[in-house]
Chains A and B, each alone.
Chain A
């Protein structure tokens, strides 16, 4: 019986010591963890601010790169359209020259917008600068702006 009681006292004492020891260890551990957490939080706050600044730079840099690429593509497209237009205008000029050439040698009555009557004229030459015509008085150069609308249209001015 005595031994049993002694054992109980010993067990109780041991358990008490163990629990006390555990509590102290956990308290120390918690204190250390809190200290560490505090340090990290302080350090990460500065890093977050710095990262935010650099992040903005990164985002803007990406936007600049994307927009430069977009601009380049648009300029390429614009140049391509310009080239297509030049080709079309060149073909138009060729077509116009062929159609005007058909009129060379023909005769017509011509009175200019200024009121000057050239009478019966023969078309000698047609180009973008105007008509060269021959009448009884000689050769006359007529500017497109001097031609009446129907003649202007006939010679594709």
Chain B
């Protein structure tokens, strides 16, 4: 029975430590929202907005990557053309 008491207290300690850890992390996480007392709906809405923003940014990144590839090709062509012109002027 004593062992059971010890086990229970050990579990209590573990949960208390988890609570402290959660509270510490929550201080930083709460700063992300404008209010410290955000409702579940507000958090869900904020999460959805962030998820949309991630998708939007990913799309933009994809477009810019494509533009980069095109720009690199154009640059290589321009460099080649310039070399041709230089060789003609020699």
User: Which residues of A does B touch, CB under 8 Å?
Assistant: 23, 26-27, 29-30, 33-34, 36-37, 40-41, 43-44, 47-48, 50-51, 53-58, 60-61, 63-64, 67-68, 70-71, 74-75, 77-78, 81-82, 84-85, 88-89, 91-92, 95-96, 98-99, 156
Contact = CB atoms under 8 A, between A and B. Distances in A.
Interface size class of B (residues with CB under 8 A): 35 or more
Nearest to A28: B5
Nearest to A87: B78
A40 B68 contact: no
B81 A92 contact: yes
A6 B5 CA distance: 36
A23 B82 contact: no
B72 A81 contact: yes
Given A30-B5, A44-B18, A71 B61 contact: yes
Interface string B34-55: 0000001001101100110110
A78 B70 CA distance: 10
